[in-house]
Amino acid sequence: MQLWGGGEEKIEANPQLNINMEQTVAEFGQTNDLPNEVISEVFGDNSQKRLNEFGLTETQLRDNIQKSLAFYAEENSKNWVKIATKFPTWFIFLAVMFVLTRQKAVTKKNRNYLYALSILLFGVLLGSDPSPMGTVKDAIVLFATQGIIFPPRMIALAVFLLTVFVANKAICSWGCQFGVLQDLIFRLNSRAKKGGWFRQYKPPFIVTNTIRVAFFVGFTTIAFIWAFDLVEQIDPFKIYNPAIVTAIGWTFIGLILGLSLFIYRPWCHLFCPFGLTGWLVEHFSIFKIKVNYDTCSACESCAKVCPSTAMEAILKREKTIPDCFSCSSCINVCTTNSISFSTGKRNMPPVGKYK
């Protein structure tokens, strides 16, 4: 609350404009209390020209102003110092986790401490925004409601997807402030005592991904038809800026975090727009969890310890491979060192190896 307890990082981009085509540009700007940057962007250095001298209809003028205001609002709603701090910190942390995963140094003992460190860095200290989810969600909403694309957001999205392409959803695995929080809650339950406080479940991927696709389609449709940001109302990343969370938001966040005791990363698997986008890119990841079938003893311990159905699909190759967060659980439990986080194509298992 002390860190981010101010207002939400939003600026009104759609004020009601009072347009009189006989006014000068300067008078128009003063009447509508428009920022000088917006006036200069639309009209240039022509403050004394009348609006009707630009050859624009009132509708065209309104559209130009609204788009320029949308860019201005986006740019000025961002805490650029925080962003300039957060991205390098992400790169350093993900690089360290990449090395640890490659060296099989992420263990059951240290995993939760690494999750807690990620939550502290990217959530508590550096706030709810930016986030991987926000790059997809905000890009869709801004284009649907304002008809513009904000280049810095698209660059951020490209960077996040690059981490997925290089290291199998690395940003989701270790850098997503809300994804890691869910992961930690799930692990704390499973380690509370033998079997955990509550029984945990692995919903079929066909069910979770169908829900996620339906939510993505519904959210996008609502944004384009009604210019309404559905995710903004329930955005779980706002838990790191409690002052701006609404009653509906707290209810949804509570449900997701409660569900995290029973199901692995429910927001990621059921709702997250970046989770869906990242899962598509994940199919082409350079580094991924792989199985050496020559040394595999077919004990299937890796599939059992995996918090989702991902490892079973990777191991047996009978179904579509779900989101894999490369958490190293499968690597830790393998007694024959047959599982690695490495490059190359995943091979198919020998016929009849897993009965």
Per-residue pLDDT tens digits for 310-333 = 999 999 999 999 999 999 999 999
Percent of the chain with pLDDT over 90: 69
Does the structure show a pLDDT above 60 at 11? no
d(CA 65, CA 34): 9
What integer pLDDT is reported at residue 201 of this predicted model? 94
What integer pLDDT is reported at residue 129 of this predicted model? 87
Per-residue pLDDT tens digits for 230-264 = 999 999 999 999 888 999 999 999 999 999 999 99
What integer pLDDT is reported at residue 196 of this predicted model? 67
Tell me which architecture the domain covering 288-342 has in CATH: 2-Layer Sandwich (3.30)
Peptide bond into 130 cis (omega under 30): yes
| Phi (first) and psi of residue 18, to 5 degrees | -100, 105
Tokens 């986790």 correspond to: 97
> Could you write out the three-class secondary structure of the chain?
CCCCCCCCCCCCCCCCCCCCCCCEHHHHHHHCCCCHHHHHHHHCCCCCCEHHHHCCCHHHHHHHHHHHHHHHHHHHCCCHHHHHHHHHHHHHHHHHHHHHHHCCCCCCCCHHHHHHHHHHHHHHHCCCCCCHHHHHHHHHHHHHHHCCCCHHHHHHHHHHHHHHHHHCCHHHHHHCHHHHHHHHHHHHHHHCCCCCCCCCECCCHHHHHHHHHHHHHHHHHHHHHHCCCHHHHHCHHHHHCHHHCCHHHHHHHHHHHHHCCCECCHHHHHCCHHHHHHHHHHCCCCCEEEECCCCCCCCCHHHHHCCCCHHHHHHHCCCCCCCCCCCCHHHHHCCCCCEEEECCCCCCCCCCCCC
What is the band of 5 on the pLDDT scale with cuts at 50, 70, 90? low
Handedness of CA 311, 314, 320, 321 (dihedral sign): positive
Domain ranges of the chain: 25-76, 80-282, 288-342
Give me the mean pLDDT over the 96-124 stretch. Answer: 95
